[in-house]
Structure 1
């Protein structure tokens, strides 16, 4: 059975990306530079499509994040973090998943408690630290 958890998205990130790519679109229209408007509008659509497609799938005993597959039995620890490093997480309200020996991935599931509960139902030995 497959469970899908969407990424939580911070509102300020949407505003930031919208402003960064929306301003050149408007500027291009005002200055009749339609090619610039078209390029930045395309980039804006691409970013928002990527944002809404970020999801975390639990398929059997595997966690799939983009193209990364993690055996849930290899997960050692899940802890809360606000680390701003680039990751498949659209919110700074993140959790880090420590797996294998030294691997770690940062994610931000919208329903964090259900996501962690699902991981624990498969691997009850996961250490969870959410302070």
Structure 2
């Protein structure tokens, strides 16, 4: 079962605002300064790369509960966590960097670390995870 990431509006504003500001500033600089072809080309490539990367993160962040493992996908991140390794999961507002587009997150502790994710429906996700991880401590509050 696939769960898309919840997306906070303010995080979108920050990410897309940064892209817009970068594009505006570089375009303004190109129009007001004498830029050679190489400078223009480098500026365009950097802007397109930034837009592509932010789009990749924004549109491909999701979580899949498969038969034997949890898959976390966000841009270049593709993590697989076998259910047998998951020891606990609970709701959190932990702001550290993670493949999550919202601060309403789930902290999953497993054998080799922890993962913070932000499925749209945290309660449903935790319920389905608890069915797949009977030995894990799953907190719904």
8 Å Cα contact 1:88/1:107 also seen in 2: yes
**What is the alpha-carbon root mean square deviation over aligned residues?**
2.0
1:121 corresponds to 2:131 = yes
1:52 corresponds to 2:59 = yes
1:70 corresponds to 2:77 = no
- How far apart are the structure 1 equivalents of 2:27 and 2:87? 52
Deviation at 1:73, TM superposition (A): 2.5
Q: List per-residue Cα deviations over 1:14-43 (Å, max 9, x = no partner).
A: 111122121121233334275435532441
Query: Which structure would you say has the larger Rg?
Result: 2
8 Å Cα contact 2:107/2:117 also seen in 1: yes
Q: How many residues align?
A: 128
Residue pairs, 1:21-32, within 5 angstroms: 21-31=19-29, 32=31
Aligned residue in 2 for 1:108: 118
- How far apart are the structure 2 equivalents of 1:9 and 1:43? 19
Contiguous gaps of at least 5 residues in structure 1: none
Higher mean Cα deviation, 34-43 or 106-115?
A: 34-43
1:96 corresponds to 2:103 = no
Aligned residue in 2 for 1:4: 2
TM-score (norm: length of structure 1): 0.83
- Runs (4 or more) in structure 1 with deviation over 4 Å come to none
Higher mean Cα deviation, 36-45 or 62-71?
A: 36-45
Deviation at 1:98, TM superposition (A): 1.0
Match of 2:18 among 17, 20, 37: 20
8 Å Cα contact 1:27/1:37 also seen in 2: no
Q: List per-residue Cα deviations over 1:87-128 (Å, max 9, x = no partner).
A: 11111111100112x521111111112211111122233222
- How far apart are the structure 2 equivalents of 1:46 and 1:69? 22
